[in-house]
Amino acid sequence: MTDAKKPESTRQTILTTGRRLVATGGFGAMGLSALLKESGVPKGSFYHYFASKDAFGQAMLQDYVDEYLVRTDALRKRDATGAEKLMAFCTAWLDHDREAGLVSTCLVVKLGAEVADMSDSMRQVLEEGLPKLTGTLALMIREGMRDGSIHPQDDPDAAAVTLYAQLLGAAILTKLSRDQAPLETVITEIETRMITGATQGSQT
């Protein structure tokens, strides 16, 4: 690795480690000492990149949102029907065997309510990322309407917002109950309501 790459690598290490700690314990409960210990970087390195814990939280969420949007856009560009892409997005929320789904790793599920009261700068990162995400979902819906795999929607943009709100709400219930049933029920309902050829009671 060249010297030019080392600073960015150190910053990314702190962000990635912080994301993992926050996903399990929350942002408020995460101490900087634990973050630095897990990251393996000195305190001075942290303050070189982040002026405060709040500034770190904003950068961490921006990093997460940017990565999430890239992955969602890559899903949209797959060679598949609109319905297949949309259902792949939905089922990604589920934990599959040993692979953690979005309920386990999504910082919106973990921090949405917490940062809304704690940090306006962190809240704004999530707020600004939301229309970009639902916009990509709306494109999937429109593709599905064109290829016939998704039922016609009066307003694809509104349908995308509703779909995401359903998944987010069900994810919170799933996290509270430690049972994937609420999320599985919502995914089945979305498939039944939106996907051409889906039948009541079908499984995703």
Place of tokens 């916009």: 135
Does one domain contain both 108 and 13?
no
Per-residue pLDDT of the chain (204 residues; tens, 9 = 90+): 333 445 558 899 999 999 888 888 888 888 888 999 998 988 888 899 999 989 999 999 999 999 999 999 999 999 999 999 999 999 998 876 545 555 667 788 777 777 777 788 888 998 999 999 999 999 999 999 999 999 999 999 999 999 999 999 998 888 888 888 999 999 999 999 999 876 544 443
- Report yes or no on 200 lying in a domain: no
Q: Which two tokens stand for residue 127?
A: 């707020």
Does one domain contain both 58 and 44?
no
For residue 162, give the nearest of 196, 138, 132 by alpha carbon. Answer: 138
Pairwise CA distance, residues 145 & 140, whole Å = 9
For residue 39, give the nearest of 62, 60, 68, 69 by alpha carbon. Answer: 60
Structural domain range at position 179: 54-194
Does one domain contain both 155 and 184?
yes
Q: What b-and-e string marks burial along 175-197, b requiring 16 or more CB atoms within 10 Å of the CB?
A: beeeebebbbebbbebbeebbee
Provide the CATH number for the domain around residue 79: 1.10.357.10
Tally of CB atoms within 10 A around 90 = 23
For residue 173, give the nearest of 183, 162, 188 by alpha carbon. Answer: 183
Pairwise CA distance, residues 204 & 103, whole Å = 17
pTM equals 0.83
What is the domain count for the chain? Answer: 2
Tally of CB atoms within 10 A around 55 = 15
Q: Are 145 and 152 in contact (CB under 8 A)?
A: yes
